Amino acid sequence: MNRVARAFWLSRPGLGEIRSLDLPEPAEGEVLVRSLFSGVSRGTETLVFRGGVPESQHAAMRAPFQEGEFPAPVKYGYLSVGRVEEGPEELVGRTVFCLYPHQTRYVVPVSAVTVVPEDIPAERAVLAGTVETAVNALWDAAPLVGDRITVVGGGMVGCSVAALLARFPGVRVQLVDADPARAKTAEALGVDFALPEDALGERDLVVHASATEQGLARALELLAAEGTVVELSWYGDRKVSLPLGEAFHSRRLTIRSSQVGTVSPARANRSYADRLALALDLLADPALDALITGESTFDELPAVMPRLASGEIPALCHRVRYPETV
């Protein structure tokens, strides 16, 4: 079998390239995976592409199979779906999800892959990592039956959270984004939509995922007294100012962070594997296909990434398709 693989590397901030490498033979307890699809998370990955990871967060931001160091050169990514070509008999031929960068083939421990349920298309399974983030956010947020909830920020993570909240009984969900085109996505997910100036107030819970100072300020304005903003945004090296005067204290508002790198303390009895398996099960809903807004081939990635980072290609999840023979 051909042991040469190709991988996408950030050679310097703003410039990507494809490099070849020789793969090792899979050892006992390892699998060789041929990539079918990977996903580009427009928030985190384009921030990495621009070189915007602050030095203090270099260790915290490492992806599980990252090579190189921030800002560059670095091989980064974490939404890979492939087919097992070599390994334990029960896995050979199975479609799996792995937190691996953009690469045509790779060798990883068996424990690093999660089998994709047979009723989940491989094309949709690239969303597993993002839906896992949404699961963790909702474990942190702990919404209640009948809550009035707003999600500010209609990006990949915000839309995933809104999609899961739409399944909660009695919950009234509104997705808020400055881009009116997100109304179509909200409709596909089964939730209400509003522009920031038209958003409903007196919300019990607001999940903020716009990664903007204005979005976070608006999230606070939308809360009812004693309400909570769950902050999912990653700002990288940007400074954020907040209006914590005015009614912030008198209304006893709360801002709390949520980050997928740690399983929510509210579910400390669950493992990372449990959380990812749940995310894959939740992908049975075809409505989530609305989160995949574009596709390119692996070979096009060096040209596509700058356009994703600049916003020239407006995207939620951009899917990368791999050649059938590599």
CA-to-CA dists, residue 62 to 74, 90, 124, angstroms: 10, 31, 24
How many CA atoms lie within 13 Å of 90's alpha carbon, on the beta-carbon side? 5
**What 8-state DSSP symbol labels residue 105?**
E
Residue 44 is predicted with a pLDDT of 83
Tokens describing residue 66: 């990252």
Gap between the Cα atoms of 231 and 216, Å rounded: 8
Phi and psi at 115, nearest 5°, equal -65, 130
- Buried/exposed code over 193-207 (b: 16+ C-beta within 10 A; e: otherwise): bbebeebeeebbbbb
Residue 247 is predicted with a pLDDT of 83
Phi and psi at 151, nearest 5°, equal -110, 115
Instruction: Report yes or no: 33 and 83 within 8 Å, Cβ to Cβ.
Output: yes
Residue 326 is predicted with a pLDDT of 59
Element (H, E) at 84: strand 80-86
Instruction: Report yes or no: 102 and 297 within 8 Å, Cβ to Cβ.
Output: no
For 130-267, which CATH class?
alpha beta
In the CATH scheme, what is the code of domain 4-127+290-321? Answer: 3.90.180.10
Is the previous residue joined to 71 through a cis bond, with omega within 30 degrees of 0? yes
Gap between the Cα atoms of 201 and 179, Å rounded: 19
Question: The pTM is what?
Answer: 0.90
Closest CA to 13 of 71, 67, 62, 57: 71
Residue 163 is predicted with a pLDDT of 97
* Rounded CA Rg of the chain: 20
Tokens describing residue 103: 């690469």
Give the number of other Cβ atoms within 10 Å of residue 186's Cβ. Answer: 24
Residue 125 is predicted with a pLDDT of 98
Q: Is 291 helix (H, G, I), strand (E, B) or coil?
A: helix
Residue 70 is predicted with a pLDDT of 96
CA-to-CA dists, residue 230 to 136, 177, 192, angstroms: 11, 16, 19
Domain ranges within the chain, ordered by starting residue = 4-127+290-321, 130-267
Taking the chain (326 residues) in runs of 10, the rounded mean pLDDT of each run is 90 97 96 98 87 88 94 97 97 97 98 96 96 96 96 95 95 97 96 98 97 95 97 84 86 92 92 94 95 96 95 91 83
